[in-house]
Structure formats: C-alpha cells, structure tokens
Chain A
Amino acid sequence: MQLSLTSSPHNHSHKSLSTIMLKVCLAASLGIVCQAYFFGFGVLIQLLLAITTAVVAEALVLKLRKRDIKTALSDYSAVLTALLLAISIPPLAPWWVIVIGTAFAIIFVKQLYGGLGFNLFNPAMAGYVLLLISFPVQMTTWSPPMELAFNQHSLLDEISVIFTGITQSGFTTEQLRLGVDGVSMATPLDSLKTGLSKGLTTSESLQNPIFGEFAGIGWQWVNVAYLLGGIYLLKSRIINWHIPVGFLASLAICASIGVVFHPGVSTGPILHLFSGATMLAAFFVSAQVPFCIYLAAQPC
C-alpha cells in the first residue's frame, strides 16, 4: 500500500491502534455471545484456539524478523484477525482447521507482506478462502440451532468433538447435525436452495422449521447483534458508512428485484439481510477494519 505524503499541518488522530482494535473486538462480542447462545459454545473454543495460534504465530515471525514483539502484539491486530476467522467457520469444525487457517493468515498473508498495514488482503478472509478450498466438507458442516437439534450437546461434548471428532457419548459431528425430525439440518439459505431444486416454491420452503420470525432461527438474532456492533463502529467513527451501506443496499435492491419479478423462486430482502454472514460481512469484513483505520484516522 502506498501512503500519500502530505505537507503540514499534520492533524494527529487521537485514536491509538490498540484502542481501535479493541473497540472492534468489543463490537463483535455481542454477536459472538449470540452465536454461543444459539449454536453452542463451539465458537468460543474456536476463538480461544484462533487467538492462541495467532499470537504464537505472530510472535514467532516477529522474532525471525527481529522486530519488537511486544509493540506489535499489543496493537491487538492479530487478535482481531483470529476473531474474524474464528466466527466465520463452523463452530464444530475440527481443531486443526482453525489452527491452519489462522497460522496461514498471520504468517503468509500478513507478515510475509510486511506486517500490519502492508498486507494486500484481509488476512482473516484470505485464511477463510484457504480453508474453504482446502477442506470443503469441514467448512460447510454447519450445525443447527440448539433448540432444533435432535442430539443436545454440552460444553464438554463440544470440546471433545472439536478435538477428537466424536462427543463423549459417541456422536459424530454429522449426527449432531440431525434436526428434531432426524433429518440432517442445513442452513436457512441452503434449505431454500435445496427446496428450489426439489421444485418447491419459496413460500413452501419457508414452512421448514429452521425459519423463525423474519429469517432463520438463531441466525436472525446473530445478524441483529452484528448489525448493532456495526452501528457502534459507525458511531465511534472507526469505519465509514459508505462501504457497509453500499453493500447492504445492493443486496436489498437485488433481492427486491427478484421478489418483484419472480416471487415464486426468490425471497424478500429482509431474509437476505438477516441470513448467513450478511451483517458480519458488511461491517466487519468488507469495511476492512485494519485498512480503513488509515482512512478513518484522516479527517474526511
């Protein structure tokens, strides 16, 4: 990245890097709590694994590059990368998935390009891409919300399934995915897609128990939580509104066009806005927090 040279007077932004990073982590925390409440504690275990890996990997590379480890680690950028990656992968994915992804994100995508501010890509998302093309099965094994799951699982079960592949009572990840009717549950958007391929209309697919008040059960509140976190980021002027609003508006407009012209095979904008990782992507990923800091630090 090339930074422009500007003449004086230099306005100093009073936000320090570590405060910004911590505020972003704070903004995401509500969504993480929501995820843990609806989908089990898996996400917290992944978070722990990811942060540990990120800090170790960062310290290792900094030592090799003969840089000051303490300063670089205390800006919390590695922690933020780990956090973003941990919340975007399935909560019950095996432990080595998150370890490989985070290590790649920190070592290859961030540090090999020169560290914070020099990385071409968002490290967390490059790590996500690596995982998605390397382990497509593990990366799409999403478990249903707890209230719909046939096999309930506790914290110990989740730890055991992440590290050994089976729970304490001997269930596999695949068995944990079974819904109350004994059929493997898909994510809301997945079940819409399979419904369409079976020839069902959208309104028929929406009868599926996985859908709640306005989007998928669990998923809708996770998205609301990330939306709130995003509004907090906007309020505290850490990100600019342009990217998230543009992202969400184009999604809503495209979905509306679909509903107007093909109501039978498409769903309204509300479902799209509150499904999957829409809000996470809009406020925490596409707004590229570590990159936008430079923009935010300069008076617009």
Chain B
Amino acid sequence: MTEQLRDIINQGLWKNNPALVQLLGLCPLLAVSATITNALGLGLATLFVLLGSNVTVAIVREWVPKEIRIPVFVMIIAAFVTMIELLMNAFSHELYLSLGIFIPLIVTNCAIIGRAEAFASKNSVPLAAFDGLMMGLGFLIVLVMLGAMRELLGQGTLFDGAHLLLGDWAKVLRIEVMKTDTQFLLAILSPGAFLGMGLLIALKNTIDAKQQAKQLEPIVEKAPRARVTSLD
C-alpha cells in the first residue's frame, strides 16, 4: 500500500508531472504565470478542482455507464469550477478580476479530465483523492516556479500583490529583489512564458539524465588477466 502511495507521489510531482511531462493545461500555465500571486491563485484553484473531481468521479464510478462517462466527468468538473469561481469572486475579488477568463477555463484543463479518466474512474476514493492532491501539487509547484521566474525578471519583485489572495497581512511578503525603473517586458509577455517553460523542462530533463547516468554507471570489476607471462 505504501509502495502505491509513494508511486502516486512520484508520478504527480515528478515522473508524470502534468505541466512538465504531460504538458497539459499549458494555456492557463503560460497565460497566468506573470506573477507569483496569479500563479498561486490559479494553481490553488486547479488543485481544488482536481481534488474534488477525482473524489466525485471515484465515488460515482460504479454507476456511470462507460458510454457516457466523458459528459458526466465534464459536468462534475464544471460544477467544481463554478464553485471555485463563485468563491474567488466572493473572497478575493481583485484576484478574480486579474485571473479573468482563466478561472472558468479550468474546465478545459486536460490535466483534470485526464486524471478523471485515467486514474479516478478506476481506483478507490482515498487513492483518487491522493492522486488528485499530488497531481494538483505538481501543477501548482511548476506554476509558482514559472511565476517567480517571470516576476523576478520582469519587475524585480516577488509576491507582489500577494494580499489580493491571502488577505492584508500578506503585504509584508512583498520582496523587492532589485529596483528597476524599466520593466523587462519580455518576461511578463507571453514569449517569456514559453522561454521560461522551456528552461524548466530542460532543467528537469537534465536532472533526469544525470540520475539515469548515475544508475547506469557500470560496476567495473578488476578484470582477471587472461594471459600471464612471467619469467618463471
């Protein structure tokens, strides 16, 4: 059992990361990651939807006929997205405004329906919940890293506008790493998102390649000499 859990963690956060490996949900990932706050907001929303839809799909998996499973999954996901949208509108209205269309668009995030189809519809409720949590976390981490890169390069700050998401106390989180009069617009605009995403994927591939090389390192045994010539 623990082996299975460990596998789910590994799959979600690293080996099968929705953003870095499956490359699903790129549209919100690239569009919303201009600052950490936006990235965190959308990442948390996606995480919540993924968790909710995975649990619900796993609960109803016995009763859903195979032929109409996709529409049912989509309706479940849409219901959770609507909830999230209303909640964000109520509790963090400014963030809701700045994320805009990308909150309702979580419905179309293929990572979510992908997990419903590939995992939740075949596994028990606790496992599906854990998988949703891990996949969502994997997505969230990449989103926040990309957001941090772009915010740092673009305007030289970190956690700018965090109070929109976390409440007024979060104003102290804002760090001004470097003072710039001119924004580096490329990092904030979409080319920066593509470049940053490419760099993150390259980083992951490099780490993977290093690890593989370490594992495959041949164990060199001292070869016995085939022919020994001696004076005696």
Interface string of B182-195 (1 = CB under 8 A from A): 10111101010001
Let me know if A300 is at the binding interface, CB within 8 A. Answer: no
In the bound complex, do residue A133 and residue B195 qualify as a contact, i.e. CB atoms below 8 Å apart? no
Evaluate contact between B184 and A134: CB separation under 8 angstroms: yes
**Interface stretch (choices A135-143, A230-238, A259-267, A287-295):** A135-143
Q: Is the CB of A135 within 8 A of B182?
A: yes
- Distance in angstroms between the alpha carbons of A65 and B185 in the assembled complex: 29
- Other A-B pairs beyond A108-B195, A135-B182, A136-B185, 10, CB < 8 Å: A100-B184, A130-B186, A130-B191, A133-B185, A133-B186, A133-B189, A134-B185, A134-B186, A134-B187, A137-B182
Which residues in chain A, 206-222, are within 8 Å of chain B measured between CB atoms? none
A: residues with CB less than 8 A from B are: 100, 108, 130, 133-138
- 17 A–B pairs (Cβ distance < 8 Å), ordered by A: A100-B184, A108-B195, A130-B186, A133-B185, A133-B186, A133-B189, A133-B191, A134-B184, A134-B185, A134-B186, A134-B187, A135-B182, A135-B184, A135-B185, A136-B185, A137-B182, A138-B182
Give complex CA distance A108, B198 in Å.
Answer: 11
Q: Which residues from B are CB-within-8-Å of A108? A: 195
Q: Could you say which residues of chain B place their CB within 8 Å of the CB of A135?
A: 182, 184-185
Nearest opposing residue in chain B for A97, CB measure: B182
Q: Which 7 A-B pairs have the closest CB atoms?
A: A134-B186, A134-B185, A134-B184, A130-B186, A133-B186, A133-B185, A135-B182
| Closest A residue, CB atoms, query B195 | A108
Alpha-carbon distance between A136 and B188 when the two chains are bound, in angstroms: 14
Q: Which residue of B lies closest to A104 (CB)?
A: B186
Tell me the bound Cα distance from A226 to B195 in angstroms.
34
- A136–B187 Cα gap in the complex (Å)? 14
Enumerate chain A residues within 8 angstroms of B195, measured Cβ to Cβ. 108
Residue-by-residue, is B34-61 near A (CB-CB < 8 Å gives 1, otherwise 0)?
A: 0000000000000000000000000000
Q: What residues of A have a CB within 8 angstroms of the CB of B182 in the complex?
A: 135, 137-138
- Taking the closest CB of chain B, its distance from the CB of A6, in whole angstroms, is 35
Q: Which residues of A contact B185 (CB under 8 A)?
A: 133-136
Minimum CB–CB distance from B207 to chain A (whole Å) comes to: 16
Determine the residue in chain A with the shortest Cβ distance to B180.
Answer: A96
- Residue in A closest to B188 when the chains form the complex, CB atoms: A134
Bound CA–CA A35/B208 (angstroms): 51
List the A side residues contacting B187 at CB < 8 Å.
134
Chain A residues with CB under 8 Å of B186's CB are: 130, 133-134
CA of A137 to CA of B184 in the docked complex: distance in angstroms?
12
